[in-house]
Amino acid sequence: MDERAVVTRFAPSPTGALHLGHAYSAVRAHRLARARGGAFLLRIEDIDGMRSRAAHVAGILDDLRWLGLDWDGPVVFQSARLEAHAAALETLKRRGLVYRCFCTRAEIAGAISAPHGPTAPYPGTCRTIDAASRPGESHAWRIDMARAVAAAGPLDWRDERAGVVRAVPEAQGDVVLARKDVATSYHLAVTVDDAAQGVTDVVRGVDLFDATHVHRLLQALLGLPTPLYDHHPLLVGADGERLAKRRGSPSLASLRAGGVDGRKLAAGLMEDTPPAGFSIART
């Protein structure tokens, strides 16, 4: 019997209202922690200063309370942890594993045009540029994936559903670790913050499965522990499409305003039974 002390977390971005997909993930993480006598943490991933809103933070707290989900300890705001992210980036700089990227989005889009497709990895345009020749110019920091993979050696991680997964971060290319507008990124911040909070089990949607390859690499390079991952299936609407803020999926706030009982909704999600009109993707 597994007697590990379990710490899970729910880490939404306050860039819009939560929807049922968020609720499904939060419920699963909360259930795991409570079933094992562990801790369920709440982290607000608000590093996107342009889109994050205090009103959305308040809405997240209201939604979780409506669902009957409590959390342990204070709410952690990712924007308050930028120094820790910067320190991790400095470690990678000292090892020569990152480089400055001066490219604009338009330049990157042009460089990865067909036949590669819009999701092709960054082609390494700035990898060999002499940064000293462009002093003071705005830049992001990208990982030199080939060097990083060579430095880390073979890696794997364990997923609740997929079993032991061989890490193949090179498939993601030279991902951004610090953006031009903020000195961190999702990949760097989530890896550093999960370790700092002692998260043992990461419960999140299968849409983030590929990102875990990068996170496993960063854990190795920074000497951080590797959690157990549970990448659960996504909720989809009647059209079969995944729920997403950008698609205008029904918000939890709208369900609450419509008189839906949040605790009953959460109980159904715990049993993998979403409301009528929604289903759990099985592929």
* Total domains, the chain: 2
Q: Which residue has the higher pLDDT, 134 or 147?
A: 147
Q: Is there a single domain that holds both residue 52 and residue 112?
A: no
Structure tokens at 84: 């820790």
* CA pair distance 92, 97, nearest whole angstrom: 5
| pLDDT of 111 higher than 90 | no
Query: Could you tell me if 87 and 143 lie in one domain?
Result: yes
Integer Cα distance of 76 and 197 in angstroms: 9
Q: Are residues 35 and 123 in the same domain?
A: no
Q: In whole numbers, what is the pLDDT of the chain averaged over residues?
A: 92
Mean pLDDT of 253-278: 95
Question: Per-residue pLDDT averaged across 76-102, rounded?
Answer: 97
* Residue 107 located in a structural domain: yes
Query: Residues 113, 187: one domain?
Result: yes
Cα angle 64, 81, 75; round to 5: 20
Q: Residue type at 206?
A: V
Task: Output the six-digit token pair for 21.
Answer: 């997909």
Same-domain status, 150 and 122:
yes
Question: Does the residue 271 lie in any domain?
Answer: yes
Percent of the chain, pLDDT > 70? 93
* 146 domain residue, yes or no: yes
pLDDT band at residue 102 under the 50/70/90 scheme: very high
Task: Write down the pLDDT at residue 136.
Answer: 84
97 and 179 assigned to the same domain: yes
Last residue of a domain, one of 139, 172, 196: 196
Which tens digit of pLDDT belongs to each residue from 43-86?
999 998 888 999 999 999 999 999 999 999 999 999 999 999 99
Q: Indicate if 29 and 87 belong to the same structural domain.
A: no
* 281 belongs to a structural domain: yes
Looking at per-residue pLDDT, the higher value among 169 and 117 belongs to: 169
Tell me which of 93, 180, 245, 264 is the catalytic residue: 245
Q: Is 205 part of any domain?
A: no
pLDDT for residue 247: 64
Whether 58 and 87 share a structural domain: no
Q: What is the pLDDT of residues 123-146, one digit of tens each?
A: 899 999 988 888 889 999 999 999
Are 59 and 5 members of one domain?
yes
Last residue of a domain, which of 148, 169, 196?
A: 196
Q: What is the CATH number of the domain that holds 170?
A: 3.40.50.620
Asked if the model's pLDDT at residue 237 lies above 90, the reply is no
Please tell me the predicted confidence (pLDDT) of residue 248: 62
- The pLDDT value given to residue 60: 98
Any idea which of 98-102, 133-137, 205-209 has the lowest mean pLDDT? 133-137
Q: 45 and 139: one domain? A: no
- In-domain check, residue 4: yes
Judgement on whether residues 184 and 140 belong to the same structural domain of the protein: yes
Give pLDDT, residue 109.
Answer: 67
Q: With 60 as the cut, is the pLDDT of residue 116 above it?
A: no
Q: Quote the pLDDT of residue 175.
A: 96
Residue 119 within any structural domain of the chain: yes
In angstroms, the CA 180 to CA 170 distance is 23
Residues 13, 66 within the same domain: yes
By mean pLDDT, which of 60-74, 114-128, 152-166, 208-222 is the weakest?
Answer: 114-128
Q: Of 166-170, 207-211, 233-237, which gets the smallest average pLDDT?
A: 233-237
245 an active-site residue? yes
Residue 7 clears pLDDT 70, i.e. is over it: yes
R_g (Cα) of the chain, nearest Å: 20
Q: What is the pLDDT of residue 199?
A: 98
Domain that holds residue 19: 1-74+233-283
Res 176 pLDDT > 70: yes
Domain end marker among 174, 196, 218: 196
What is the edge-to-edge ordering of all strands in the sheet holding 228-232? 163-166, 156-159, 228-232, 201-205
Assigned domain for 96 exists: yes
Find the mean pLDDT for residues 165-186.
95
One-letter-per-residue 3-state SS of the chain? CCCCCCEEEECCCCCCCCEHHHHHHHHHHHHHHHHCCCEEEEEECCCCCCCCCHHHHHHHHHHHHHHCCCCCCCCEEHHHHHHHHHHHHHHHHHCCCEEEECCCHHHHHHHCCCCCCCCCCCCCCCCCCCHHHCCCCCCEEEECHHHHHHHHCCCEEEECCCEEEECCHHHHCCCEEECCCCCCCHHHHHHHHHHHCCCCEEEEEHHHHHHHHHHHHHHHHHCCCCCEEEEECCEECCCCCECCHHHCCCEHHHHHHCCCCHHHHHHHHHCCCCCCCCEECCC
